[in-house]
Structure 1
Amino acid sequence: MKLCRYGAPGAEKPGMIDADGRIRDLSNYLADIDARTLAPETLATLAGVDPAALSLVADGVRYGPPVAGTRQFVAIGLNYADHAAEANLPVPAEPVVFSKWVSCIGGPNDPVTIPQGSEKSDWEVELGVVIGTAASYVSEADALRHVAGYCVVNDVSERQWQLERGPTWDKGKGFPGFGPVGPWLVTADEVGDPQALRLWLDVNGERQQDGSTATMIFSVAQIIAYLSQIMTLLPGDIVTTGTPPGVGMGQKPSPRFLKDGDVVTLGIDGLGQQRQTFVAAPVA
C-alpha cells in the first residue's frame, strides 16, 4: 500500500496511490496521515480499501511529505563503506547518529533554497524508515515490527557547516528544505526486504549515485534496535539510513557542489522518485 499527502503546504490531504500510479482521495477515511494512521490496526483497515472506489485526484497536484507531525528526524552517517572511503573517514564500529531538524522536512518535489553564503551544499539519496509503533529497548529480531513503512529521503547537507564549523554534524543538516521526503510512504508489507533496494541520484541528468541497500554497514533492523537503546522512537518518526558513494564532496578530481538552477532527481525501487530545483537564497 502506498500512502501520500497532497496539496498546498500546510493544507495537505491524505491519499492512496492506485495501480496506475495516480492519487486517490482518502479524506472520507482519514483527516490526515500521521502517527495515529500508522498504528497497525489502522493500516490493516486501510489495506482493505479499494483505491478504485476512491475519488481520483487531478494530475499535477503537489506531493507533500507523506507523514504529518513527525517529532524526530534521525539520521545515520557513513553507513556504506564505500561512502566512508570517499569521505576519507574510517568505517564506523557503531552507527553514526545525528539529527535533522523537523523544520527542514519538505515535499519531494519542492524547490530547495541554498543557504546564504553556502558554497558546499550537497546531495544524498537515502532510504527513509517511518516508525509505526513506539520502540524502546527492542531487539534486532523484533525491530522491523516497529516499522510502518519506507520512503525516499534526500539528506541535503551543507558540508562547511557540517564538517568545518565544530564537531556536530547537525548544524549542516537542518537548513529549511534540507529534508525532502516522499513522494509516498510504502507500507512494510509491500516493500519486503529493506536490504534489497536499489537507490540512485542524478544531478542535471547525470548519474552521480547508484547503489543498493544490500551494502549498508548497519541494516535497518540493526539501526532501529541501536537507536531504541538511546531514545524512544515514536510513531511518525523518520529515520534516514545513510547514503551510497557519489556525493558531491567525494567527486574526483575535485568536489562538486550544488549551485543555483541545478536539478536533482533521485529514487528508490518501489518507493518512487523526487525532483528538486536548487535556488540561491535571496540577497538580504
Structure 2
Amino acid sequence: MEIVLPDSGLRLVPRKIICVGKNYARHAAELNSTVPEEPILFLKPPTALIGSGGTVLLPPQSREVHHEVELVVVIGREGKRIAEEEALDYVAGYALGLDMTARDLQQKAKEAGYPWTVSKGFDTFAPLGPLVSASAVSDPQQVRLRLKVNGVVRQDGTTADMVFSVAQLIAYCSKIFTLQPGDLLFTGTPEGVGPVHEGDVLEAESDVLPPLRVDVQRA
C-alpha cells in the first residue's frame, strides 16, 4: 500500500511500521501488565497495511482478534539520534490507525517467552486512515481517539494519557532505527480493547483526524 506524504505529495511504500506497546497505563492494567519504564517496540510488515474502506481478514490461526485504535505518526525526513526537542520537526503528518492483534496467539507467545510478531503481523492487521499534514494537528498530545464497533463505542481516550509522548517515542526509536520518509509509528492504544468478529464494522474517529472505517471478514 502506498501512502502520500502530506504537503510534499511524495508517494511511498512505508519501509517500517514501528508500533508501541503498553503506552497507556489503563490499557496496560486491562492486560494485567505493568507500565514499562521505557517504550516497548515491535514491528509490522508493510503488507499489514490497508486503507479506509478495506477489510480486516481474520486469520484461521486465531480465534480471538482484538481492535486497538491509535494515533499514527508519519515520518517526513530521515533522522538518526534525534533530540526530543527537535523530534516533531521530523513529522510529515498524522492519521488514525488500528493495531489489530491476535490476542490468543500473543498470549501464547508471551507465556512461552517468544516474540509477538505472528500475533501482530498478519496481512490487513494495520488499517490506516487518511493522512493530514502535521500542521493540522496543533498538539499531538491533545488528540481524541474513539473506536466504534457496529456503532457502539468501545474505546474513547486521549493522547494526553500516553506514558511516552510522540516526541519521546520518535527520539527513542531514532536511537535504534534510522527513521526514513514514509515510516509509520503506531503510538499505542487507550483502554477498551476487545474482540472483533466476522461481519463487524469498525469506525475510528477523532476530533482532528479524518475517520477510518473497515469491515471484518474471516479469511
**TM-score greater than 0.5 by the shorter chain:** yes
State the shift of 1:162 in Å. 1.9
- 2:131–2:210: 8 Å Cα contact kept in structure 1? no
Report the equivalent of 1:86: 30
Residue 270 of structure 1 pairs with residue 208 of structure 2? yes
Residue-pair matches, total = 216
- Partners of 1:275 and 1:145 lie apart in 2 by 29
After superposition, residues 26-105 of structure 1 pair within 5 angstroms as 33=4, 43=8, 68-105=12-49
Q: Please identify the structure whose Cα radius of gyration is greater.
A: 1
Q: Which moved more, 1:199-208 or 1:235-244?
A: 199-208
Residue 174 of structure 1 pairs with residue 91 of structure 2? no
Residue 118 of structure 1 pairs with residue 56 of structure 2? no
- Partners of 2:171 and 2:73 lie apart in 1 by 13
- 1:72–1:102: 8 Å Cα contact kept in structure 2? yes
Report the equivalent of 2:188: 242
| Secondary structure of 2:157's aligned partner | strand
- Partners of 2:152 and 2:89 lie apart in 1 by 37
| Secondary structure of 1:272's aligned partner | coil
CA RMSD of aligned residues (A): 1.8
- Partners of 1:79 and 1:236 lie apart in 2 by 22
After superposition, residues 103-182 of structure 1 pair within 5 angstroms as 103-165=47-109, 166=112, 167-182=114-129
- 1:195–1:213: 8 Å Cα contact kept in structure 2? yes
- Partners of 1:67 and 1:200 lie apart in 2 by 28
Alignment CA distance shift 1:67-1:173 (3 Å): farther
Deviations 1:204-246 (A, max 9, x none): 1111100000000000000000001111010000000000000
For residue 131 of structure 2, what is the amino acid of its counterpart? L
For residue 181 of structure 1, what is the amino acid of its counterpart? L
Q: Deviation above 3 Å: which 4+ runs of structure 1?
A: none
- 1:109–1:180: 8 Å Cα contact kept in structure 2? no
Alignment CA distance shift 1:236-1:94 (3 Å): same
- Partners of 1:67 and 1:225 lie apart in 2 by 25
For residue 173 of structure 2, what is the amino acid of its counterpart? L
TM value normalised by structure 1: 0.73
| Secondary structure of 1:230's aligned partner | coil
- 1:127–1:268: 8 Å Cα contact kept in structure 2? no
| Secondary structure of 2:211's aligned partner | strand
- 1:108–1:274: 8 Å Cα contact kept in structure 2? yes
* The structure with more strand, counted as a fraction of residues: 2
For residue 216 of structure 1, what is the amino acid of its counterpart? M
- Partners of 1:141 and 1:214 lie apart in 2 by 18
Report the equivalent of 1:223: 169
- 1:197–1:268: 8 Å Cα contact kept in structure 2? yes
Deviations 1:174-209 (A, max 9, x none): 111111111x21111111110001000011111110
Report the equivalent of 1:202: 148
| Secondary structure of 1:227's aligned partner | helix
Q: Which moved more, 1:101-110 or 1:164-173?
A: 164-173
State the shift of 1:117 in Å. 3.8
State the shift of 1:115 in Å. 0.3
TM value normalised by structure 2: 0.93
- Partners of 1:140 and 1:201 lie apart in 2 by 30
For residue 187 of structure 2, what is the amino acid of its counterpart? T
- Partners of 1:100 and 1:67 lie apart in 2 by 20
